[in-house]
Amino acid sequence: MWSILFLLYVSLSVTDGAPRTDCTVSGLSAGGSMATQLHIAFSKDISAAGIITGPPYYCAQGSMLTAIGACMNGPATSVGVTAIQNKLKSYASAGTVDSLNNLNGDPVYIFHGKTDRTVVEGVVKLNEQIYQPYNINLKTNYDSQANHGFVTDNFGGSCTTLNSQNYINNCNFNLAYDMLNHLYGGNLVKPTGTTTLGGQLIEFDQGLFINPSIMKENTRGVFDLWSQWIDATLALYNPANYLPGLSGITLPNITLPGITTATSSSASSIGFDTTGYLYVPSGCTKGKGCSIHVALHGCKQGKQFVSNVFASKAGYNEVAELNNIIVIYPQVKSSTFPSNPNGCFDWWGYGNVNYANKQGPQMVAIKNIIDTVRAIHA
């Protein structure tokens, strides 16, 4: 076990020179902005982004007032695109985002519904201008009548009504598939009404990923927690748990790992909830190579507000099950310190001035989760 821990630590620590992967990200609203931050900052390892009615990268420029004003209500002309592009170049020059050349040819998907008044369409469309210099593979979808929310073909409120219960709208359109199909090259298998989930939605402790140096702490408690994570997760890949020829297999119901006061406090310190979700398709337990997708909820859409509704009902898991994609669902909660009353991912700087680059606490935590899942699956 200690040798596995050592290998995992090396995998988490040695990121320079790591090969580019097909890890992709997407998100709704604030989660959409966070998706662009992750894609641009970690473009060496994250190869595509889906932006669902989200303002562009660094739109708020560290100001909540700008976020609420220009970046949500517009007009688009009030957003300084040139200033954003200059900031990107400055970050790249300083090494706080990966080389912008990595973005060349990357798939990007942008969605906005016609009845969405929460974030105006013109601001969402500015994502095109921010990405334009990098010759991306762009697909846009501005034709839906959807209000502000994630769109499905089988769950949610009325398509054209703001559904504040969970911000998921049934518009008879599978947005998760349309987006992921573009991000993964256009050849994914599409779910049908009879698609069943043979995988498992797992709950895990997010607090372990807040501090990158946690693996260096030579305390039995820390290593015991990592041991629980690895033991439980490796069980998902143990062929002894499955019999050949059976269909409809359900993975073990595992919580990874036990929550402690220390890790709960670590999560809260950057606005994270104590636990997040991970969907592991049944095919990914049988020796198949699986890619990773990070799905980021919108404001008031995390576990604290809607339980696991976004993680279980947005439609990602059905696409993932049929196409061997592991889906990570990080969870943010509302907080007073830092000031984040609606449980949004940090896209305006409530947690740290470096919120949009590789030094941002939430950015670091999500990248650590990605690297851990990748290391275990490998």
- The pLDDT value given to residue 263: 60
Longest CA–CA span in the chain (Å) reads 60
Domain ranges of the chain: 23-236+258-377
Cis before 191? omega within 30:
no
User: Which pLDDT value is given to residue 375?
Assistant: 74
Enzyme catalytic residues? 29, 116, 148
Percentage above 90 pLDDT, the chain: 68
The more confidently predicted of residues 268 and 288 is 268
Band (pLDDT 50/70/90 cuts) for residue 287 is low
pLDDT in tens, 53-87: 999 999 999 999 999 999 999 999 999 999 999 99
State mean pLDDT over 348-376: 92
Those residues with Cβ within 8 angstroms of residue 296's Cβ, 6 or more apart along the chain or in another chain: 25, 26, 27, 28, 30, 31, 32, 34, 35, 329, 330, 345
Q: Which of 135, 144, 149, 134 is nearest to 54 (CA)?
A: 149
* Whole-number Å distance between alpha carbons of 54 and 27: 8
| pLDDT tens per residue across span 113-168 | 999 999 999 999 999 999 999 999 999 999 999 999 999 999 999 999 999 999 99
Report whether 85 contacts 130 (CB < 8 A).
Answer: yes
